């Protein structure tokens, strides 16, 4: 599906995950629904929530505006909350 508006600005990703699939213990993968988390969304979670960076600083490090970072962060937090509360798996898209 073609996106509307301006093309996405490329983001600088500081870390690529070793694991790209997380699921509830004891549940077979073939029975699960998954939420898809992009590398951009994972990086915003890592910088802001794990490393404790301010949004301005994290946005500078990724080479994007603070608003773009905030949008990615909000989307990522919603997906993680959905997976945790509804027993879904998380799949990280390593484009």
Please state which CATH number belongs to domain 27-93: 1.10.10.10
Q: Which of 78, 69, 77, 90 is nearest to 12 (CA)?
A: 69
3-state secondary structure of 21: strand
Whole-structure pTM value: 0.83
Query: What are the angstrom distances between the C-alpha of 31 and each of 10, 26, 27?
Result: 35, 11, 7
3-state secondary structure of 93: strand
Domain boundaries, the chain: 27-93
Q: How far is 36 from 60, CA to CA, in rounded Å?
A: 25
pLDDT tens per residue across span 34-76: 999 999 999 999 999 999 999 999 999 999 999 999 999 999 9
């Amino acid at each position: 599906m073609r996106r509307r508006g301006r093309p996405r600005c490329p983001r600088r990703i500081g870390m690529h995950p070793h694991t790209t699939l997380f699921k509830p213990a004891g549940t077979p993968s073939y029975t699960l629904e998954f939420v898809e988390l992009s590398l951009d969304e994972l990086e915003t979670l890592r910088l802001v929530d794990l490393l404790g960076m301010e949004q301005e600083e994290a946005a500078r490090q990724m080479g994007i505006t603070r608003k773009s970072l905030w949008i990615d962060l909000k989307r990522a937090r919603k997906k993680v909350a959905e997976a945790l509360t509804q027993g879904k798996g998380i799949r990280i898209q390593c484009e």
